[in-house]
Amino acid sequence: MIASANIPGERETLIEIYGDQRTNFLIAIDGVSEDDARRAAAVGELTLGGLVKHLTIMEQYWITTVTEADPDAEFDVEAAADAYRLTDDESFADWVDAYRKQAQLTDEFIATVADLDALIPIPTAPWAPVRQHHTVRRILLHLFRETAHHSGHADLIREAIDGQSTTATMARDAIRSFERG
């Protein structure tokens, strides 16, 4: 029989899994120059800078959707126009810092939110005109999926820029750690 005292609870598990996904994303963008962060390296216009900006805004948006639940909310399409690209007055480093800070805030939210089963009204949008309600848990799982999805994009873009890949970086770091004992 396994002692249940050593098994983390749901919130701890959610924070741990989300942290793993964020780590994968941060590995993919680590050490990227400002110029490379703005460079689209795959088919399409996605950049590493645009992805870190999008993930930061997305986390802020969904946590605010829960904490300031508004049954009449509508998604602001115009406000999201630059969500996937760094503007001339924004820096990659600032968005990476903002992403890390938002990660801490989101982890605190996960640890303290009163009820993961609470139903939250989801803002309507042109692609979702009928009001829906989702549990806090489902919203968090959406954040995890988005982060994992865009971590894959970041890995492909990074590999196209300079040949670095998350998997190779993680393997190299594990070998170094093992060799150090």
- Residue-level pLDDT at 3: 59
Relative to beta strand 119-122, strand 132-135 is antiparallel
Each residue of 23-43: pLDDT tens digit? 999 999 999 999 999 999 867
Residue ranges covered by each domain of the chain: 33-130+155-181
Each residue of 42-101: pLDDT tens digit? 678 999 999 999 999 999 999 999 999 999 999 999 988 999 999 999 999 999 999 999
Asked if 75 and 125 count as a contact pair (C-beta separation under 8 A), the reply is yes
Q: Is the pLDDT of residue 110 over 70?
A: yes
d(CA 134, CA 13): 20
Gyration radius (Cα) of the chain, Å:
18
pLDDT band per the 50, 70, 90 thresholds, residue 166: confident
- Residue-level pLDDT at 62: 98
- Residue-level pLDDT at 155: 93
Decide: helix, strand or coil at residue 121. strand
The pTM for the full model equals: 0.89
Q: Is the pLDDT of residue 169 over 90?
A: no
| Strand positions, DSSP E, 31-179 | 119-122, 132-135
For 6, which DSSP code?
G
Mean per-residue pLDDT over the chain, rounded:
92
If 0-12 CB within 10 Å is exposed, 13-18 middle and 19+ buried, where does residue 40 land? middle
- Residue-level pLDDT at 2: 58
d(CA 163, CA 157): 9
Each residue of 113-136: pLDDT tens digit? 999 999 999 999 999 999 999 999
pLDDT band per the 50, 70, 90 thresholds, residue 20: very high
Angle between helix 136-162 and 10-29 (nearest 10) = 20
Q: Which of 50, 62, 179, 178 is nearest to 109 (CA)?
A: 62
Asked if 28 and 158 count as a contact pair (C-beta separation under 8 A), the reply is yes
Decide: helix, strand or coil at residue 3. coil
